[in-house]
Amino acid sequence: MATRDDTQRAQARAKQQQAMEQHKQAFEQRKQAMARAREDVTRVLGEPTGKRLRAFDDGGLYVEPGWPQFWAWLIDFFVVVAAVAGTAGAYYAAHRYDFNAAGRATGIGILLVVVAPLVYGLFYGNGRAIGGLLAGTRLVRKKDGSRIGLAKAGWAMLIRTIGFVILVLGALAGDSSGVEEVRVSIDVRATALLHNAGFRSLPR
C-alpha cells in the first residue's frame, strides 16, 4: 500500500518529468525558429551574415562579430597591460635608488592588474571601450541585448581582461570552451543592417 511519502515522491517525479519535456519542447521550437531565421537572413543579407546570426535569451536577433571580437579583446587587454606596466615602470624609474624599489613597483603592478580594468571599465558603460570602437563591436547583456551600464562596466572589463587570458591559455591547450557567457559581443554595423532589414527577433 502506497504511503503518503510515496505519493508525494511520485508527484514530484511527474512534475520533474513534465518540466523536462516542456524544456525540451521549448528548445526544439527555438532551434527550428533559429533555422528559419538564418535561412531568411541568408537569402536577404547573404551567407556571411546568416552564418553569424545569433539570438539573445529573449529571442532578439544579432550578428556576432567573429574575428573582430578577438581583436577588440586583444586591444583592450594591451591597453590594460600598458597602463599597469607604464605605472609600475614609472614608479621604479622615479625611485630606483630607493631600497626595495623593485619590490614596491612589483606590488603596484600586481595591485593594478585588478584596479586598472575596473578604472578602464568606467569608459565602458555603453559596451564600447577602445577595442570595441576600433573593431566595430559592442558588449551587451546576453539575456536581452541591453547595454551593460556604468554600474557593472568595471566588473565587465575585469572579466574581459581575465577572460582573454583564459581564452588564450585554453586555445593553447586545445580547449575552446572559453568563459561563461553572461554578456556577448555584437557586430554593431551588421546588427544595425539586420534590424533595418526587418529581422529583429526569432519568428513565431
Distance, in Å, from the CA atom of 148 to the CA atom of 121, rounded to the nearest integer, reads 11
Model pLDDT for residues 107-154, shown as the tens digit of each residue: 999 999 889 988 888 877 777 889 999 999 998 999 999 988 777 888
Model pLDDT for residues 74-111, shown as the tens digit of each residue: 999 999 999 999 999 999 898 888 888 888 999 999 99
Q: Which residues contact 122 (CB under 8 A, 6 or more apart)?
A: 150, 153, 154
Range of 2-6, 177-181, 188-192 with top mean pLDDT: 188-192
0.75 surpassed by pTM:
yes
Mean pLDDT of all residues in 59-88? 92
Biggest CA pair distance of the chain: 87
Q: Which of the pair, 196 or 27, is modelled with greater confidence?
A: 196
pLDDT band at residue 57 under the 50/70/90 scheme: very high
Distance, in Å, from the CA atom of 83 to the CA atom of 187, rounded to the nearest integer, reads 27
- Contact predicate 45/194, CB 8 Å: yes
Distance, in Å, from the CA atom of 108 to the CA atom of 111, rounded to the nearest integer, reads 5
pLDDT of 4 strictly over 80: no
CA distances from 202 to 55, 61, 83, 119, 164 (A): 7, 7, 42, 37, 30
- Contact predicate 77/161, CB 8 Å: yes
Q: Which of the pair, 36 or 173, is modelled with greater confidence?
A: 36
Mean pLDDT of all residues in 54-71? 93
pLDDT of 176 strictly over 50: no
pLDDT band at residue 33 under the 50/70/90 scheme: very high
Can you give the C-alpha Rg of the chain in angstroms?
23
pLDDT of 11 strictly over 50: yes
Q: What angle do CA 31, 61, 77 make, to 5 degrees?
A: 110
pLDDT band at residue 59 under the 50/70/90 scheme: very high
DSSP characters over 71-106:
HHHHHHHHHHHHHHHHHHHHHHHHTTTSTTHHHHHH
Residues of the chain with pLDDT > 70, as a percent, come to 89
Mean pLDDT of all residues in 180-196? 90
Listed range (4-8, 14-18, 125-129, 177-181) with the worst mean pLDDT:
177-181
Residues in the chain: 204
Residue tagged 544595425 (cell numbers): 192
| C-alpha grid cell, residue 14 | 511527474
pLDDT at 40: 95
Residue ranges of E strands in the chain: 53-55, 61-63, 137-141, 183-187
